[in-house]
A and B are shown apart, each in its own frame.
Chain A
Amino acid sequence: MKAIPVEAGLILAGVLFMLGLISVLIRRNIIFMLISVEIMLNAAGLAFIVAGARWGQPDGQVMFIFILTMAAAEVSVGLALILQLYHQLQTLDGDAANKMKG
């Protein structure tokens, strides 16, 4: 019934990943950067599901669960950091935190 080629799934994951990558590179607002990272993580997880569906094993889904967990933890910690950054620098500019230059 299903006649979806594996490449299609993988290419979908690749395209989504690239879009997230572009967004990370061009955005200056930190929150938008975080959102872009979420897009990338989601795309990576999708690739795992496709792989698992190709072999008919639940391992891909297990991996996706792990990625999901990690993304959730990362978002919470990242948002806390963004809160601190906003509190210290009064701006959401990612370039404002450049004291480590040189």
Chain B
Amino acid sequence: MELTFYIASAIAVLSTIMVITRYNMVHALIYLIISFLAIAIVLFVLGAPFIAALEVIIYAGAIVVLIIFVIMMLNLRDETVEQERSWLTKDIFIFPAILSAILLAEVIYIISLGEHTMLDQPSIDSSAVGMSLYGPYVIGVELCGILLMSGIVGAYHLGRQKKKIVHRFLEHAEQ
């Protein structure tokens, strides 16, 4: 089982690296899906099958699809690829890489300070999660509901294409 874990995590890291270095948006999204699928395998190995399913359904299946839809809606053409090529140069990686490396080093140091244990618990299936969710964490569920509702309303409202109202004095300036 450990082997599955290590292989899947390697694939996840590799595909994430591919995501962050692509010029084409859709290509990056495909790699992102692969990353998510690999993470789902990792989650399954860690004993969270329900969450692994959720990861595939919602993350890979809804969020990424949403992004693809918006890309299609924006009707982006090939010049975005050229644009991205011009924006994403090699030397731009250096400083953020340094910062992130420092942060990563600190995080790894903090992790290593804790006591070393092994993950050998039995897997927690959906019924346990459900009991916990609608038991002690029912308030969180309610809040999630409200959050989703506000997300829907906000997305609808913000996504509307209104005609820009410009004062007639400024119309001349607009042209």
- Residues in chain A within 8 A of chain B (CB atoms): 1-12, 14-23, 25-29, 31-32, 34-36, 38-39, 42, 46, 49-50, 52-62, 64-66, 68-77, 79-84, 86-88, 92
Contacts and interface: CB of A to CB of B under 8 A. Distances in A.
Contacts, number: 243
B154 A39 contact: no
B133 A62 contact: yes
A39 B13 CA distance: 11
29 contacts: A2-B45, A2-B47, A2-B118, A4-B2, A6-B114, A7-B114, A8-B5, A9-B42, A16-B16, A16-B39, A18-B100, A26-B93, A27-B87, A31-B71, A46-B39, A54-B119, A55-B121, A58-B128, A61-B129, A61-B132, A72-B58, A72-B63, A73-B147, A73-B148, A75-B63, A76-B152, A77-B155, A79-B159, A84-B159
B124 A23 contact: no
Contact of B67 (A7, A18, A66, A75): A75
A58 to B, nearest CB: 4
The main secondary structure of chain A at its interface with chain B is helix
A57 B124 contact: yes
Main secondary structure of the interface of B (DSSP, over half): helix
A55 B122 CA distance: 10
A54 B129 contact: no
B161 interface: yes
A31 B70 contact: yes
Contacts of B1: 1-2, 4
Contacts of A73: 147-148, 150-151
